[in-house]
Chains A and B, each alone.
Chain A
Amino acid sequence: MAELLQFVSSGLTVGAIYALVGLGFTLIYKASDIINFAQGEFVMLGGMMTVFVAMADVPLPVAALIAAIVTAGVGLALHRFAIEPARGASPVVLIMITIGASIFLRGIAQIVFDKRFHSLPPLFGSDPIQFGGAAILPQSLAVLGGAAFIVILLWLFIERTLLGKAVIATSANRLAARLIGIDTRQIVDFSFVVSAVIGAIAGILITPIALTSYDVGTLLALKGFAAAMLGGIGSAPGAVVGGLLLGMIEAMTAGYLSSNYKDAVAFLIILIVLIAIPQGLFGRAKIERV
């Protein structure tokens, strides 16, 4: 029993990280149908920037704030200077552009920062919380809480604000949205900025557990993307459920089967789910009206 609890707590820790990274994909996808593969670099920037600003004797909360603001700026620049000039190109081309941007950001980061691993002090200390023979780090709960908080904010924003409705409208039909007076460029600008901030928050929260370095983004984005796909891309609760599910599968496989196969088993289950339900667990199927 104690083992099971420990595996669950590991699954929650890892799953919360995937969920938080996966959440970053939702808003940009909602507003523009683009899957932003530079999302992992937003996560990296959030963590690395906080580490480096804090090194300059800036208090940690201020460093985190600066990191979030700079990352938001990078998100805006990504849209304005890379995506926007290519508007009208097919989503595949735009996705390629985000992959290029991710390589570019990684290259810049290894020059501006360094190539070493860094960590941040956890929010609520590093003494594990014991329950029923299992030990969980308080920071895991912070990551989980952060993910829940972002889901609620996103839901409130999309469902309860005019700006949120404008995002939905832009995603549904860009031309029609423009005809009724929505500045779609600003809406997409906005979705990049918010996604960048979500990424930065993810980076700051997970660094005390997962550590960070200039190239941490690639694999995190891959797992986060898998989580978002599993849950249904574009759905915030879907990203969280997908992330937690992925984390849980990995932990259970590592615990009960073999740690050698945990990634293989996780991706196999994703494949099976996506073959059965192509839109993901919480995704809405796209209906083409003829």
Chain B
Amino acid sequence: MRALHHFSAAAAIGLSALLGVAHQASAQIKIGAVLSVTGPASFLGDPEKKTLEIYVEEINAKGGVNGQKIQLIVYDDGGIADNARTFATRLVEDDKIVAMVGGSTTGATMAMIPVFEDAKIPFISLAGAIQIIEPVHKWVFKTPHTDKMACEKIFADLKTRNLTTVALISGTDAFGKSMRDQCVAVAPKTGITIALEESYGPRDSDMTPQLTNIRNKAGVQAVVNPGFGQGPAIVTRNYRQLGITLPLYQSHGVASKQFIDLAGPAAEGVRLPAAALLIAEKLPASDPQKPVVVNYSRNYQQKSGQAVSTFGGHAYDGLMILVAAMQRAKSADTAKVRDEIERTKGYIGTGGIVNMTPADHMGLDLSAFHMLEIKSGDWTLVPGT
């Protein structure tokens, strides 16, 4: 008995010595990020990287998390999913990170999921598609809202205006296609009939034939344009050129000042769903997200010298959810951190109010979107949304 006691004491000392060494080596919490900083998706990765750097520095300046500093390791996948997977493996095997915030595109995210699932490391993705969280992967979470929610938000707004028959005109690029599919899928559930579908290529410069067909289709009460880039601006211009007076809905993909500039006066009266971040200063003071989005957008603009984008906001949310989970777990143990991320409740971020559950690894509802209408060349909030 006495010997045993001795032994366990020695073991305890040995163990703590060992832990001590380990503790020395990981005095910093290593967080990995694989982002599309360059390449075609750099409009996502660039603000994401800047955001992570700004806030990791800020957190470290305040003493870090649980007394440990964060070390951020960023790799640039150049928008190529293969690269993302290679870097993910490097983050796991060489850098020995404890958590991952990144994956700018859906392609990169899907390529990296198996790596983090195998390594049992929490992975918070910054990409849009619903496939990332449906079906649920134990170690994978995401912060941006999905296309499906944008469709649901648009359809909900149509219902309040008593409009039920719509025409879709969508881009054939990845964004337009994915959102079109989601809209078609949720339409029957929300009581919306899609009477006509048209499409256009990502570089088309005139959509009047498609819109002429929509104009001539009997019974269409509104038009929805899932699309990204310059296409929606041209659709909007052609829409007015043809003198169509039905309500026109654009997607969250063009929720930026740039769209209003490109579409010009034709944008008047266009409605679209958008995250709170874009209208930070316009939100009513009672909105719980207001302080968060105002602070983030001011901070980002000041430190990076660039206009704020929702994509940087997704990175902010990912980092903050992770840091909060580590604080609740009081450690950087991967399994404990994962459990705490899943228990995130009432986190108020730039993308909305996050309530995760084991079945929902995004945790946003339709209140994450606000319905905007363009009036006199600026966004206005549609009341009651």
Q: Say yes or no: A219 contacts B198, CB within 8 Å.
A: no
With the chains together, A3 CA to B145 CA distance in Å? 39
Q: Residue on A with the closest CB to B204?
A: A14
Q: B236-255 CB contact bits vs A (8 Å, 1 = yes)? A: 01000111000000000000
Choose one: B172, B206, B216, B264; the contact of A3 (CB below 8 Å). Answer: B216
Q: Say yes or no: B242 contacts A13, CB within 8 Å.
A: no
Binds A, one of B227-235, B294-302, B346-354: B227-235
Q: Tell me which residues across on chain B come within 8 A of A14, comparing CB atoms.
A: 204-206
Choose one: A3, A7, A9, A135; the contact of B243 (CB below 8 Å). Answer: A135
With the chains together, A262 CA to B209 CA distance in Å? 11
Binds B, one of A176-184, A186-194, A253-261, A282-290: A253-261
Q: Is A126 an interface residue (CB 8 A)?
A: yes
Q: Residue on A with the closest CB to B42?
A: A115
Q: Say yes or no: B210 contacts A254, CB within 8 Å.
A: yes
Q: Say yes or no: A128 contacts B209, CB within 8 Å.
A: no
Assuming the contacts A117-B262, A213-B230, asked whether A6 and B203 have C-beta atoms less than 8 A apart, the reply is no
Q: Say yes or no: B230 contacts A117, CB within 8 Å.
A: yes
Q: A100-123 CB contact bits vs B (8 Å, 1 = yes)? A: 000000000000000111110000
With the chains together, A219 CA to B174 CA distance in Å? 17
Q: Say yes or no: A263 contacts B201, CB within 8 Å.
A: yes
Q: Is B380 an interface residue (CB 8 A)?
A: no
Choose one: A7, A117, A137, A251; the contact of B229 (CB below 8 Å). Answer: A117
With the chains together, A9 CA to B241 CA distance in Å? 12
Assuming the contacts A117-B229, A117-B262, A128-B241, asked whether A259 and B205 have C-beta atoms less than 8 A apart, the reply is no
With the chains together, A115 CA to B237 CA distance in Å? 22
Q: Residue on B with the closest CB to A2?
A: B212
Q: Tell me which residues across on chain A come within 8 A of B42, comparing CB atoms.
A: 115
Q: Say yes or no: B233 contacts A259, CB within 8 Å.
A: no
Q: Is B258 an interface residue (CB 8 A)?
A: yes
Q: Residue on B with the closest CB to A121?
A: B264
Q: Say yes or no: B262 contacts A115, CB within 8 Å.
A: no
Choose one: B209, B262, B265; the contact of A211 (CB below 8 Å). Answer: B262
Q: Is B200 an interface residue (CB 8 A)?
A: yes
Q: Tell me which residues across on chain A come within 8 A of B243, comparing CB atoms.
A: 135
Assuming the contacts A117-B229, A126-B265, A135-B241, asked whether A209 and B206 have C-beta atoms less than 8 A apart, the reply is yes
Q: Residue on A with the closest CB to B169?
A: A259
Q: Tell me which residues across on chain B come within 8 A of A135, comparing CB atoms.
A: 208, 241-243
Q: Say yes or no: A255 contacts B209, CB within 8 Å.
A: yes
Assuming the contacts A126-B264, A126-B265, asked whether A209 and B205 have C-beta atoms less than 8 A apart, the reply is yes
Q: Say yes or no: A210 contacts B234, CB within 8 Å.
A: yes
Q: Tell me which residues across on chain A come within 8 A of B233, comparing CB atoms.
A: 117, 119, 211
With the chains together, A116 CA to B237 CA distance in Å? 18
Specify the main secondary structure of chain B where it touches its partner.
helix
With the chains together, A159 CA to B224 CA distance in Å? 52
Q: Say yes or no: A6 contacts B212, CB within 8 Å.
A: yes
Q: Is B376 an interface residue (CB 8 A)?
A: no
Q: Is A10 an interface residue (CB 8 A)?
A: yes
Q: Say yes or no: A10 contacts B229, CB within 8 Å.
A: no
With the chains together, A135 CA to B266 CA distance in Å? 15
A76 to chain B, nearest CB (A): 28
Choose one: A3, A118, A128; the contact of B212 (CB below 8 Å). Answer: A3
Category for how many chain B residues contact A: 20 to 34
Q: Is A230 an interface residue (CB 8 A)?
A: no
Q: Say yes or no: B209 contacts A254, CB within 8 Å.
A: yes
With the chains together, A260 CA to B252 CA distance in Å? 23
With the chains together, A6 CA to B207 CA distance in Å? 11
Q: Is A206 an interface residue (CB 8 A)?
A: yes
With the chains together, A216 CA to B229 CA distance in Å? 12
Q: Say yes or no: B205 contacts A206, CB within 8 Å.
A: yes
Q: Say yes or no: B258 contacts A117, CB within 8 Å.
A: yes
Q: Is A201 an interface residue (CB 8 A)?
A: no
Q: Residue on B with the closest CB to A115?
A: B43
A123 to chain B, nearest CB (A): 15
Q: Is B134 an interface residue (CB 8 A)?
A: no
Q: Say yes or no: A7 contacts B209, CB within 8 Å.
A: yes
Q: A239-276 CB contact bits vs B (8 Å, 1 = yes)? A: 00000000000011011000110110000000000000
Q: Say yes or no: A216 contacts B203, CB within 8 Å.
A: yes
Q: Is B261 an interface residue (CB 8 A)?
A: yes
With the chains together, A73 CA to B178 CA distance in Å? 43
A89 to chain B, nearest CB (A): 31
Q: A112-146 CB contact bits vs B (8 Å, 1 = yes)? A: 00011111000000101000000101000000000
Q: Say yes or no: B199 contacts A260, CB within 8 Å.
A: yes
B44 to chain A, nearest CB (A): 11
Q: Say yes or no: B265 contacts A220, CB within 8 Å.
A: no
Q: Is B213 an interface residue (CB 8 A)?
A: yes
Q: Which residues of B from 172 to 214 have beta carbons under 8 Å from A?
A: 172, 198-206, 208-210, 212-213
Listed residue (A9, A251, A254, A262) with the most chain B CB atoms within 10 angstroms of its CB: A254
Q: Tell me which residues across on chain B come within 8 A of A259, comparing CB atoms.
A: 198-200, 209-210
Q: Tell me which residues across on chain B come within 8 A of A119, comparing CB atoms.
A: 233, 261-262, 264
Q: Is A151 an interface residue (CB 8 A)?
A: no
Q: Say yes or no: B241 contacts A210, CB within 8 Å.
A: no
Choose one: B198, B200, B208; the contact of A9 (CB below 8 Å). Answer: B208
Q: Say yes or no: A13 contacts B205, CB within 8 Å.
A: yes
With the chains together, A254 CA to B204 CA distance in Å? 12
With the chains together, A206 CA to B204 CA distance in Å? 12
Assuming the contacts A117-B233, A126-B264, A211-B233, asked whether A220 and B209 have C-beta atoms less than 8 A apart, the reply is no
Q: Residue on B with the closest CB to A140?
A: B206
Which 10 A-B pairs give the minimum distances between C-beta atoms? A210-B205, A255-B209, A219-B203, A254-B209, A10-B208, A211-B230, A117-B230, A128-B241, A6-B212, A13-B206
**Seed contacts A7-B208, A119-B261, A251-B206; 15 additional CB < 8 Å A-B pairs:** A3-B212, A3-B213, A6-B242, A7-B209, A9-B208, A10-B208, A10-B209, A14-B205, A17-B205, A119-B264, A126-B237, A128-B241, A216-B203, A219-B202, A259-B199
B residues within 8 Å of A by Cβ? Answer: 42-43, 172, 198-206, 208-210, 212-213, 216, 229-230, 233-234, 237, 241-243, 258, 261-262, 264-265
